[in-house]
Structure 1
Amino acid sequence: MARNPGLSSYAKDPKAAANSLVPLLEGAEGAVPQELQSETPLELGATTGLRMLKGNAAEKILQAVRDLVKNQSTFHTKDQWVSILDGTQEASYTWVAVNYLLGNLGKKYERTTATIDLGGGSVQMAYAISNKQFAKAPQDVDGKPYVHKKHLMSKDYNLYVHSYLNYGQLAGRAEIFKASRNGSNPCALEGYEGYYSYGGVAYKVKAPKEGSNWKRCRRLTRQALNVKAKCINEECTFNGVWNGGGGDGQDTIHASSFFYDIGAQVGLVDPKFPSAIVKPVQYLKSAKVACQTKAADIKTVFPNTQDRNLPYLCMDLIYEYTLLVEGFGLSRYKKIRVIRDVQYKNYLVGAAWPLGCAIDLVSSSLNKIRLSSS
């Protein structure tokens, strides 16, 4: 379960951050029988927003949450269960959740789907690779593995995972503004002038007199993504990151979060439905329309666009197209399914990492039980 606004929105008020979770606790207490609550583990994982807070703000918030859970909850919990997930965990849990809901877990890795989750602060890619690819998998620049072993539904998987911090949709805007060096920005809609705040920094945003230009915006986006970074391994995505080698586990792709949200705002996705098939080139076509529209007129052309995204619609669409095609190396005509929810039996379930975390924990526990009893 998730909560908006997130914990990071309360950087200066840890107690308010903790109290924002009370509705979630109450919801959980209503779902779990009272007699089982003391035996039911409760875990909280914070993600990108909290990871990016400066100083000790994140730890203060986590401690306030621990105190809240201890004092106001009857669930079984430990201090270490209230923590910040790293991007790799978040990405792998998303992959587990989506593949579980689709009924893929327990099948050969070739039958699983890759996942791309475009959040606000980071973007994550995860997909299963072959044993041959796993045998030659390198480590990242920090010496951490790109590939993790997963035992799920009696099946072993080699899961390639990478989280690109600072390359989510909202963070990506900041990277593009940095690349333009505070000059007029070709991604900004004609007639717009203002400030964009992210990570405690305010970036001046001013459109050129002649308006936005999708070609120049794309060049700036490629620069922000660092697509020409040196690749020390055989094949890379962007910013010098190993791409996992590709293969059957990447044949099918489910993309979530901002890919769905922005797609819905420009008509690529019908928000009445939990998912849709799109091609990267459709984001580019929508971008060309947005980029030639004045800021004052964009709501007329794309009436479903959220007000806070209006000045950045040209930029966001170019970013998503460039990320998919030049970042992750997908064909501009490749069919991908963008998702908000996944149909599971008679329910629509959010395509998010918390479910994957629970499944992974249960699978790990069952595996430990099997090992201890053998």
Structure 2
Amino acid sequence: MGRSWKERVFMTLLGVAAASGLTMLILILVKATNVLLPADAKFGIVFDAGSSHTSLFVYQWPGNKEKDTGVVSQALTCQVEGPGISSYTSDPTQAGESLKSCLEEALVLIPQAQHPETPTFLGSTAGMRLLSQKNGSQARDILAAVSQTLSKFPVDFWGAKILAGQDEGAFGWITINYVLGMLLKYSSGQWILPEEGMLVGALDLGGASTQISFVPQGPILDQSTQVTFRLYGANYSVYTHSYLCFGRDQILNRLLAKLAQDRLSSQGAPVRHPCYHSGYQATLPLGSLYDSPCIHTTDSLNHTQNLTVEGTGNPGNCVVALRSLFNFSSCEGQEHCAFNGVYQPPVHGQFYAFSNFYYTFHFLNLTSRQPLNTVNDTVWKFCQKPWKLVEVSYPGQERWLRDYCASGLYILVLLLEGYKFSEETWPNIQFQKQAGGTDIGWTLGFMLNLTGMIPAEALTQWRAQSYSIWTAGVVFAVLTLVAILGAAAIHFFWTQD
């Protein structure tokens, strides 16, 4: 009879120990889950509507932001088919239609429940800036068509607008410094702000404009070239300027138009182009050169005639022709001046050069931080290659092949004579397309700045429940221990019988 009583008590205590232990384990797991799992990720969508094409980027960041700014990463990129939206002047609705496929792809990635709270923005850059100058009504029609299409999707559409050149440069600067960990980095288990001296400059070369942005050593004397940001609890003052009509495509067109104007006095004579390879020849309509407000025409020109162009492969004459597109004389006698009379403090620190800076130098195998004399020698030797040899050496790249010589020499003139880099500061420039797996451009910087306006996701309720959960956990832990000790005592006396 005694053995039966002890057996029942023993089994009861074991049951209590198992139940309380299981409860305690569940509470610990709930607590651990609430501590370790981040708040729901937030998403943002940005369209970069450039002069030659449009790209979509999806960014994500944890709901609990770091010092009022989201810790943003790139989740998706999608290249929109077709040209830039500024090309749809004859049918603006097609500008909006062209964006649908990429946006639909983005919404597959983002959880459906979060679609209505996903900020979506389209920023158009220099291509639309030029169109707005040329025909403001057409530019407004395109933006209206784009807005109408995007507003039909179940997202939080913030609008479509033409981005100011200064904003494009400044947001590019933010992107570079963010992805390099110069604004915020993770160290020893916590997020910290790096030293300000580590910041790098940004060099952007688009199709229609080019931007330079950096933090100078001294004060910025011209306030129109200064932008200020507050990111991750720190303030930044950045010099930035955008040069419209100095992007790659516009420079090439301006160069050809100038050479054409110089030769049109000789009726029917071909235009001899020093930046095109010797042996190259093409015929094109003269009127296509004058679609852009970057190119000024004279009434005497007959835009309906065709233009024959012959390459001479003379890099020295090409540099002379490129220099004529800059106004360097406007900076004579001024200590801090780039070109066209624009104020610029001396370049300072490391720089990242992206977009067409990178694409041109990548083609020429010049992205490995070669010394300036090697870069210059490589570009000149490429320019002096006969066209037939170039065509054979680079099959499948016919679209841009004739322009790499002019692009390479233009980059050298722009960086050395325009932005005032020297042989000593040249090694500070890195030519990159990506950093940290993220595309370099203005869109990430824009989203980082935008996240400062998005309310932080309330942390999960574990903080409010924390005390009660741990109290209950301790109670069940004590109960489990008492039950186990009681069962052990019963078992001991039971075995002594």
Which residue of the partner structure matches residue 239 of structure 2?
A: 160
Q: Which of 71, 77, 87 is 2:157 aligned to? A: 77
- Cα pair 2:346 2:420 within 8 Å, conserved: no
Is the 8 Å Cα contact of residues 331 and 338 (structure 2) preserved in structure 1?
no
Does 1:286 pair with 2:378? yes
Cα distance change of structure 1 residues 240 and 110 upon mapping to structure 2, 3 Å threshold:
same
CA 1:169/1:350 → structure 2, altered by over 3 Å: closer, same or farther? same
Residues 84 and 185 (structure 1 numbering): CA distance in 2 closer, same or farther, change over 3 Å?
same
1:284-335, Cα deviation, whole Å (9 max, x unpaired): 222211221222221334x278312222222111111111111111124622
Partner of 1:188: 276
Map of 2:100 onto structure 1 = 22
Q: Structure 2: which amino acid aligns with 1:14?
A: P
Partner of residue 357 from structure 2, selected from 229, 234, 259: 259
Corresponding position of 2:471: none
2:425 matches 1:338: no
Mapped to 1, the partners of 2:355 and 2:432 lie a distance apart of: 7
Partner of 1:61: 142
Q: Report the TM-score when normalising by structure 2.
A: 0.64
Pair member with larger Rg: 2
Partner of 1:236: 337
Contact 2:364–2:379 under 8 Å retained in 1: no
The aligned counterpart of 1:273 is: none
Q: d(CA) in 2 for partners of 1:116 and 1:38?
A: 35
Cα 1:205–1:94, aligned 2, differ >3 Å: closer, same or farther? farther
- Does 1:222 find its partner at 2:323? yes
Root-mean-square deviation (Å): 2.4
TM-score under structure 1 length normalisation? 0.83
Alignment partner of 1:171 is 2:250: yes
Aligned to 1:206: 309
Choose the corresponding residue for 1:297, options 377, 382, 389: 389
Q: Distance in 2 between matches of 1:42 and 1:296?
A: 47
For the pair 1:115 / 2:202, whether they are aligned, the reply is yes
Q: Provide, for residues 178-237 of structure 1, a one-character-per-residue CA deviation record: whole Å limited to 9, x for no partner.
A: 4433432322221223338556268946236xx221111111111112233335853111
**Residues 18 and 101 (structure 1), Cα distance of their counterparts in 2 relative to 1, 3 Å cut:** same
Q: Whose RCO is larger (CA < 8 A, sep 6+)?
A: 2
Q: Indicate conservation of the 8 Å contact 2:352/2:431, yes or no.
A: yes
- Divergent runs of 4+, >6 A: none
CA distance in 2, matches of 1:281, 1:305: 30
Matched, 1:310 2:398: no
Which of the numbers 82, 88, 92 marks the counterpart of 1:10?
A: 88
C-alpha contact 2:119 2:156 (8 A) present in aligned 1: yes
Q: Percent identity at matched positions?
A: 27
Q: Rate the CA distance shift 1:24–1:87 in 2: closer, same or farther, 3 A.
A: same
Q: Any gaps of 5 or more consecutive residues in structure 1?
A: 140-144, 270-275, 368-374
Contact 1:151-1:363 within 8 A present in 2 as well: no
For structure 2, list consecutive stretches of 5 or more residues without a partner in the other structure: 1-46, 48-54, 56-79, 184-192, 264-271, 293-302, 457-497
Give the alignment partner of residue 126 of structure 1, picking from 205, 213, 217: 213
What is the DSSP-based 3-state SS (H/G/I as helix, E as strand, rest coil) of the residue aligned with 2:157? coil
Aligned residues: 340
Aligned match of 2:439 in 350, 359, 363?
350
SS of the residue 1:243 aligns to = coil
Check whether the contact 2:172–2:442 (CA below 8 A) recurs between aligned residues.
yes
Letter aligned with residue 419 of structure 2: F
Helix, strand or coil at the partner of 1:68: helix
* Superposition deviation, residue 108 in structure 1: 3.7
Counterpart of 2:169 (choices 80, 85, 91) is 91
Q: Give deviations 1:133-178, integer Å, cap 9, x for gaps.
A: 13xx125xxxxx1011111121111111100100011111122224
